[in-house]
Amino acid sequence: MSDKPTGEKPKDPFKPYKGRFETYGRIPEKGRQPDDIIEELSVMAKEEDAAWKSGKISGTYYHAGEAHRAFLNKTFSFFSHINTIQFDLCPSMARFESEIISMTAAMLHGDAAKDQHPPGEVCGTVTSGGSESIAMAVKVYRDQARAEKGIMAPEIVMPKTAHPAFNKAGEYFGVKMVTVPVDLPDFRVDPKAVAAKINANTVAVVGSAGNYPYGLIDPLEELSELALHHDIGFHVDGCLGGFILPWIEKAGYPVPPFDFRLPGVTSMSADTHKFGYALKGTSVVLYRHPDLRRYQYFTFPDWPGGIYASPTSAGSRSGGLSAATWSSMVSLGESGYLAAAREIMRVAREIRGAIESIEELIVIGEPTFLVSFRSEILDVFHINDFMKTKGWRFNCLQLPPALHFCVTLPQTRVTGLGEQFKDDLAEGVSYAKQNAGTPAQSSALYGLAGTVDGNQQVTELLCGVFDYMYSI
C-alpha cells in the first residue's frame, strides 16, 4: 500500500498492463485465439513470478518447486470442472475432502481428544481459505451459544494480534470482538487480561499459532484452561502455523503444545494453501466434536429449487482445488513437510541471526519461521525504504512500528540469501541512521492509523484503492 512509484517513468502499481495489452470493457465481439491469450497470460505470469523467485519476498508464495506446481496443476485439471457440492455425482470429492480433514486432524493431534474427558472426535470441513475457516468457527460459537445457552449478544475475546478475519466475521455475523493488548517485552497476551474480559456473553476465546504480525504462539495452555474453566469455546488460529509448526516441532525445535493436545481447544483453522503447499483457495477448519460442526451446516429443505444444503458459506466450489490439496499432502508426505520445515528454519535462523547482530534492532519474542523486529532508536520504516531498493519485501507492522519477514520455500532455494540479507540489512541500518528525523516513505499510511480520525482517513484511502482497482 505504501509503495510509491519511483524512477523517471512513474508506473501505476495497480495497472501496469494498461496500454500494454488490450483493455476489455465488454466481451469482445469475436473471440480471441486461445494461443494468443496463453501467450499474453504467460508474459504477465512470468513477470509477476520474478519477484518471489528472488527469495526476497516475505511470505506470499509458499512453495518454490516448479515440478510441484506443475503436478498440482495437473491434478487440478482432472477435476477443475467438478463442483464439490455435488457429492452424489462426484464421489471423488467425498474422498478428497474427508481425507484432507482426517490427515489434517491427525497432524494436529486430533487423536489426543479421544482420551480426554469428555472424549472428542475431531472432525471438520474444507473451506475456501483461512478467512472462511475462521468465519465458520465464529458462526458456530454464535449459534451454539444461542441454542445451548440462550446468549443473544455474543462476544469473543481475542488478543489484539489475532487476524482481522475474526473482526470481519464478527461484523458479518453480529458477534462482538473484544480485543486484549499484547504485552511488551514478549508481545504475548496476558491470560489474566483475557480472563478479565470474559463475561456472561462470552462464547469463545481465540489464540493464534502463530499470529500473523509476529509469528508468535499465544499462551495457549493458559487460554485452554481458561476456556475449560468458563465452559466456552477456544479457537486456535493455525491458518499460518498449522501446517508448519508440527514439523518444526518434529525437527527438534522447542514448540509449546498448540493443538488438540490441549483439552480446552474446541476448534482450529489450518491453511492448506499456505504451508500445506497446495494451490490457493483451500483451508481446513476442525472441531473437537461433530456436535459443534453441525452448527456450521446450512440447510434449506423447503425451496422450490429442491432440498438445499451446504456445509460452508460457499455454494459451488471447484473440485480441482480439493484434488490438488489432497495431492499436495499425499505427494509430500511427512518426510516432505519435515524437510521443508528444516530448510525454512535454517533460513529463518540466518535471518534472525542477522537482525540480532545489529545492536539497534530488537527481535520480537521467540520466533520460529517468521521473524519480526523493531527498534527503539531507529525508524524501521527507513530500513524498509532502503531494503525495497534492494528488492526485499517485508511486511510493515504498526502499533508499534516493526517489520516482519516470513520465510517460505522460495527463500531456501537461493544460495547465499542469508548473507545477502545480512549485508543489505546493515546498509539499511546505516541509511536509517543517516535519515533519522526525516519521514520515511513506508510510514506514509502507517503513521495515520491508531486514532479515530486517522483510522477514518485510512479507511477512505483503502476503499478508494479498491474502487480504483475495480475500475478499468
Residues that bind ligand PLP (CB under 6 A): 129-131, 134, 163, 165, 208, 211-212, 237, 239-240, 271, 283
C-beta nearest to ligand PLP: residue? 130
Nearer to ligand PLP, 165 or 354 (CB): 165
User: Does 450 sit behind a cis peptide bond, omega within 30 degrees of 0 on the bond before it?
Assistant: no
Measure the CA–CA gap between 382 and 360, rounded to whole angstroms.
13
Measure the CA–CA gap between 456 and 458, rounded to whole angstroms.
5
Nearer to ligand PLP, 283 or 312 (CB): 283
Nearer to ligand PLP, 217 or 361 (CB): 217
Measure the CA–CA gap between 460 and 357, rounded to whole angstroms.
40
Nearer to ligand PLP, 245 or 425 (CB): 245
Nearer to ligand PLP, 274 or 374 (CB): 274
Least distance (Å) between residue 126 CB and ligand PLP? 13
Alpha helices in 80-156 (DSSP H): 91-107, 130-149
Nearer to ligand PLP, 158 or 355 (CB): 158
Q: What is the Rg, in whole angstroms, of the alpha carbon atoms belonging to the chain? A: 23
Least distance (Å) between residue 26 CB and ligand PLP? 32
Q: Mind giving me the DSSP string for 235-272?
A: EEEETTTTTTHHHHHHTT------STTSTT--EEEE-T
Q: 3-class SS at 335?
A: helix
Measure the CA–CA gap between 125 and 103, rounded to whole angstroms.
12
Measure the CA–CA gap between 279 and 69, rounded to whole angstroms.
8
Alpha helices in 108-217 (DSSP H): 130-149, 164-173, 191-197
Least distance (Å) between residue 258 CB and ligand PLP? 12
Least distance (Å) between residue 216 CB and ligand PLP? 11
Q: 3-class SS at 309?
A: strand
**How many CB atoms neighbour CB 200 within 10 A?**
9
Nearer to ligand PLP, 155 or 237 (CB): 237
Measure the CA–CA gap between 380 and 423, rounded to whole angstroms.
16
Least distance (Å) between residue 383 CB and ligand PLP? 23
